Amino acid sequence: MTTEVAVDSRLVLTDEQVREIAATYGTPVYVIDEGHLRRRVGAFKTAFEKSHPKTELTYASKANSTLAVLRIVYSEGCLIDVASEGELRAALAAGVPAKKTHLHGNAKTAQEIKAAFDLEVAQIVVDNFEEVDMIAATDGKCPDLMLRLAPGVDPKTNAKISTGQADTKFGFNIADGSAEQALLKALLLGLPVIGVHCHVGSQLVEPDAQIGGGQALAGFVREMKQKHGYVTQVINVGGGLAIRYTDDTEAIDPQKYCDELTAGIRKGLEGTGLDPVLVQEPGRWIIGESCVTIYSVNNVKTVPTKTGRRRYVSVDGGMSDNPRPALYGSPYPVRWVSGDGRGAKPDAVVRVAGKHCESDTLFDDKALPANVRKGDYLQVLCTGAYNAAMASNYNRYSRPVSVLIREDGTHTMVQRAETWEEQFAREIVPEDLS
């Protein structure tokens, strides 16, 4: 089999592939294309390196920490950003050395910090004053530290994934002086602070906020050198670039974006003598478009509404394998595949619903062929980020299988669906319960 990639860069499987993979592994199934993923990493890495002589690309593993994905992006030259000890352990299990990881998190535990010391991660991104104290009190060689700053930038995205504004739980605020206080406290304690970090939000269709965040960091480190002689070695501007969840969304050119981002930072550093390594942490942009999810259609029904009739197409998955529509109202591109090879009739507007015990609307107002029926398939594009990573066992459904299409066109399972025994393995029923 060969993988057909849409000209707009999103992975799209052929109808033959959809039917073959569904027959082999069942549905729902996450399908990742190895070649597509490697090309995405390469495109961003090349663009970043062309835009600035000293760069480092770090993959935000919160987007998708499937071990095969981590191994692929690491082999393509990415470091791995982890937001918990669990994600750190996943990176290690994928063969990534701890020295190639960065630990994030706004509420790290003493246990997570101790693990970062013991395993020798490359960096800890420090979020708050209590964390500075915990790090200073931890025995062992301290990893390099980055201070996460809140640059006061309000991005145009869903409020639930905005993180760079002044009113945020993340990082030290620049405007109220907290960032400067944190730097001085860490340095006074003898901690190895090598640079600063920010992340302004996710799914940023307009990258102006992220560019503004980079400029805010440049202004801060300029001031810290002037006032305190602090020499910043690293500036990390986070990730958050958008992907094409809708057909009418324009793709962001990574070269143009990297050029504008790095130019803004360099301008802010002019005359300081500072020459830091610039770091980005894309997650969604790297993996999002390299994966599709295949669902089977279970039933189709038409019901009355106040203004007419509505057609429901119900599939064998839902919010347990993709909670983002319920959480954020996130849209996805959906493609119909006939189960038996028949042709499509003219489109009708339908609501695609999941199988969970609530409304569980997956994809509203989708144009699908009027002859869609039980046994057909829906191929949902752009499901690589925050689908497998956020999957749950709601209604006791097992989290889906993940399949990797290799570069030679063959496919193999890289994450199997859970068994009932695995779901119940951590539960204990006291013997005296009647």
Instruction: Residue 336: count other Cβ atoms within 10 Å of its Cβ.
Output: 20
Helix, strand or coil, per DSSP, at residue 155 = coil
Helix, strand or coil, per DSSP, at residue 53 = coil
CA 304 to each of CA 37, 224, 346, 347, 374: distance values in angstroms, whole numbers, following the listed order: 44, 65, 22, 19, 21
Does the active-site annotation cover 78? Answer: no
Give the strand pairing for 79-82 and 101-103: parallel
Look at residues 41, 43, 108, 46 and name the one whose alpha carbon lies nearest to residue 70: 41
Task: List, in order, residues 6 or more apart from 215 with CB less than 8 Å away.
Answer: 264, 265, 267, 268
Query: What DSSP line would sit under 359-384, residue for residue?
Result: --EEEEEEEEETT--TT-EEEE-S-S
Q: Which of 78, 142, 291, 357 is catalytic?
A: 357
What does the alpha-carbon distance between residue 220 and residue 22 come to, in Å, rounded to a whole number?
52
Task: List, in order, residues 6 or more apart from 380 with CB less than 8 Å away.
Answer: 292, 293, 294, 295, 322, 332, 333, 334, 335, 363
- The token duo for 15 is 């109808």
Torsion, Cα of 126, 128, 134, 135 (10° steps): 20
Helix, strand or coil, per DSSP, at residue 108 = coil
Look at residues 315, 399, 407 and name the one whose alpha carbon lies nearest to residue 363: 315
Alpha helices (H) in 80-207, listed in sequence order: 85-93, 110-119, 129-137, 178-188
- The token duo for 379 is 């191929």
What does the alpha-carbon distance between residue 290 and residue 12 come to, in Å, rounded to a whole number?
9
What does the alpha-carbon distance between residue 325 and residue 383 come to, in Å, rounded to a whole number?
12
- The token duo for 355 is 């199988």
What does the alpha-carbon distance between residue 359 and residue 313 come to, in Å, rounded to a whole number?
13
Instruction: Residue 205: count other Cβ atoms within 10 Å of its Cβ.
Output: 16
Q: For residue 290, which phi and psi values (nearest 5 degrees)?
A: -95, 10
Catalytic residues: 357
